[in-house]
């Protein structure tokens, strides 16, 4: 069973905003996340279940209408389950929800979760294995395990670690360690919390482990497409046949991130000249390339970006140029065109696979007047981040048992 993934342009709680305002808010938040990811990298340089889980999933929605680049999923929390919309994040591990009593909470669309109304809510003690697995180890308060997570953009959540049941569609997942957040602040807009799908042991994927065969996948629908995306768990649903499979690279210093074996870039079917070392993960945990649902715009090391940009500009000489827009320095005025043919952009991976992106995944509108920009940006750090713009519409799968990530063959 698949759960729908929806971009936030399906929802709005702040009134109607202009496309330009949304676009600016989206880029500001995206830049904060990328800066935080780089800081996190620089700073680095549970209970078992006796029941069987079959493949399950949910819908995913987009957040563009609120100026947010992330995607969201609706799940049920507690017994009886209470529906809550959660940010989908492959770049972090902790799953948490805003909880009563709420000392400091931001506004959310759904009623704040009240653990007193759930028969399955169980606080975790300080001496438990789960508490010891928290980053920097959980603190203790009145004999209960306390967590404290700060995100890349400065957002944070603090509260009590607990075991709770989560419901995805008709499938109930029991005894998941989640955060019950009593002190929360950040740019989560109307979401109730975050669903951590990172590669660490405390993520939902890590906790379920063999129950889902170490496999999950998602498809992020394009904002404004009129369709929802999906999030699935389990080997049958999450490991499709016919996908392009690339190696996942493990970084012991940052196990939450899904590093991929990116080795090169292509424009117009021709591989551009960028040394493979530009994308490699060093023995000190620097560099490398990650897949991240929480970052919108793909970032590349300066050398790689400039080479890609030069090749793309040379292949689009006949297109009228437009001024730079925010972090985008390669823009075009296509207002006088009905349709245009643009050169392809591709990722090359170790062991040979090549992923050619749809045009809408790298040349995007930045206003309502026909201005389109190349949706890549340079990064001063050595880290490459493949963001959700480049992932849109492509089924992406993770086989953590065999250390592989898959692209396609299905779309959404």
Maximal C-alpha separation, the chain: 68
Q: How many CB atoms lie within 10 A of CB 212?
A: 23
**Global pTM exceeds 0.85:** yes
Which DSSP helix (H) or strand (E) runs through 28? helix 19-44
DSSP string, 168-182: ETTEEEEEEEEEEEE
Output the CA–CA distances (angstroms, integers) from residue 90 to 162, 210, 306, 349, 401, in the order listed.
21, 19, 27, 20, 17
What is the full DSSP assignment across 207-236? HHGGGGTTEEEEE-PPTTSS--EEEEESHH
Q: Is 89 a catalytic residue?
A: yes
* Full pLDDT tens readout for the chain, 412 residues: 456 666 655 545 445 556 556 666 666 667 766 766 666 666 655 333 444 566 767 777 775 555 455 789 999 999 999 999 999 999 999 999 999 999 999 999 899 999 999 999 999 999 899 998 887 656 888 889 999 998 877 889 999 999 999 999 999 999 999 999 999 998 776 899 999 999 999 999 999 999 999 999 999 987 666 777 899 999 877 677 788 999 999 999 999 999 999 999 999 999 999 999 999 999 999 999 999 998 889 999 999 999 999 999 999 999 999 999 999 999 999 998 888 999 999 999 998 999 999 999 999 999 989 999 999 999 988 999 999 999 999 999 999 999 999 998 878 8
100's tokens: 């009563």
Say which residues have a Cβ less than 8 Å from residue 240's Cβ, sequence separation at least 6.
217, 395, 397, 406, 408, 409, 410
Q: For residue 292, indicate whether it is catalytic.
A: yes
Q: Which pLDDT does position 238 carry in this prediction?
A: 66
Rg (C-alpha) for the chain, rounded Å, is 21
Q: In this structure, is the dihedral angle defined by the CA atoms of residues 300, 348, 206 and 177, taken in order, positive or negative?
A: positive
Please tell me the predicted confidence (pLDDT) of residue 228. 79
d(CA 99, CA 104): 10
| pLDDT in the model for residue 13 | 45
Rounded distance, CA 179 to CA 121, Å?
11
Q: Which of 290, 93, 95, 90 is nearest to 200 (CA)?
A: 93
Q: Alpha helices, DSSP H only, in 287-331?
A: 302-314
CA distances from 16 to 25, 73, 222, 359 (A): 14, 22, 20, 28
pLDDT of residue 70: 74
Catalytic residue among 89, 110, 228, 399: 89
Q: Categorise residue 191: left if φ over 0, alpha if ψ from -120 to 50, beta otherwise.
A: beta
Q: Which of 172, 206, 227, 234 is CA-nearest to residue 397?
A: 234
Of 30, 385, 31, 62, nearest to 230 by C-alpha is 62
DSSP E strand boundaries for 191-344: 193-196, 215-219, 229-233, 244-249, 258-260, 262-267, 270-271, 289-291, 298-301, 321-322, 331-333
| d(C-alpha 255, C-alpha 166), whole Å | 24
Distances in whole angstroms, Cα of residue 198 to Cα of each of 88, 103, 266, 294, 383: 10, 28, 28, 11, 17
What is residue 48's predicted lDDT score, i.e. its pLDDT? Answer: 38
Q: How far apart are CA 103 and CA 391, in angstroms?
A: 37
Helix (H) or strand (E) holding 27: helix 19-44
pLDDT at 10: 54
Strand partners, 73: 86
What pLDDT is recorded for position 54? 64
What's the token pair of residue 262? 């990116």
List Cα–Cα distances, 68 to 32, 51, 156, 306, in angstroms. 12, 37, 17, 27
**Residue 409 confidence (pLDDT):** 81
pLDDT of residue 25: 65
pLDDT value for 146:
94
Helix (H, G, I), strand (E, B) or coil at 337: coil
């Amino acid at each position: 069973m698949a759960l729908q993934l929806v971009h936030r342009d399906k929802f709005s709680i702040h009134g109607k905003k202009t496309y330009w305002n949304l676009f600016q808010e989206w880029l500001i938040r995206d830049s904060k996340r990328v800066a935080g990811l780089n800081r996190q990298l620089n700073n680095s340089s549970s209970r078992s279940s006796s029941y069987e889980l079959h493949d399950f999933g949910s819908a995913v929605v987009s957040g563009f209408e609120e100026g947010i680049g992330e995607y969201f999923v609706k799940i049920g929390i507690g017994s009886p389950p209470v529906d809550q919309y959660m940010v989908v994040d492959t770049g972090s591990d902790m799953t948490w929800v805003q909880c009563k009593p709420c000392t400091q909470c931001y506004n959310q669309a759904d009623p704040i979760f009240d653990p007193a109304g759930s028969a399955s809510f169980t606080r975790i003690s300080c001496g438990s294995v789960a508490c010891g697995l928290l980053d920097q180890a959980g603190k203790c308060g009145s004999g209960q395990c306390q967590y404290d997570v700060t995100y890349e953009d400065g957002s944070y959540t603090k509260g009590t670690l607990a075991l709770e049941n989560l419901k995805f569609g008709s499938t109930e997942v029991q005894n998941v360690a989640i955060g019950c957040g009593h002190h929360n602040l950040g740019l989560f807009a109307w979401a109730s919390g975050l669903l951590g799908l990172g590669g660490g042991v405390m993520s939902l994927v890590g906790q379920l482990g063999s129950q889902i065969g170490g496999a999950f996948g998602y498809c992020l629908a394009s904002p404004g497409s009129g369709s929802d995306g999906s999030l699935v768990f389990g080997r049958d649903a999450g490991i499709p046949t016919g996908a392009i499979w690339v190696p996942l690279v493990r970084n012991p210093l940052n196990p939450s991130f899904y590093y991929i074996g990116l080795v090169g870039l292509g424009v117009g079917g021709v591989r551009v000249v960028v040394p493979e070392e530009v994308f490699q993960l060093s023995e000190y945990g620097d560099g490398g390339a990650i897949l991240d649902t929480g970052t919108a715009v793909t970032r590349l090391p300066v050398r790689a970006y400039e080479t890609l940009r030069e090749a793309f500009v040379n292949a689009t000489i006949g297109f009228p140029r437009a001024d730079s827009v925010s972090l985008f320095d390669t823009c075009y005025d296509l207002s006088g065109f009905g349709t245009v043919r643009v050169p392809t952009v591709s990722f090359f991976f170790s062991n040979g696979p090549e992923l050619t992106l749809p045009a809408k995944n790298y040349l995007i509108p930045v206003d309502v007047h026909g201005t389109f920009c190349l949706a890549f940006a340079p990064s001063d750090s050595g880290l490459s981040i493949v963001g959700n713009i480049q992932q849109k519409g492509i089924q992406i799968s993770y086989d953590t048992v065999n250390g592989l990530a898959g692209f396609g063959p299905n779309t959404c």
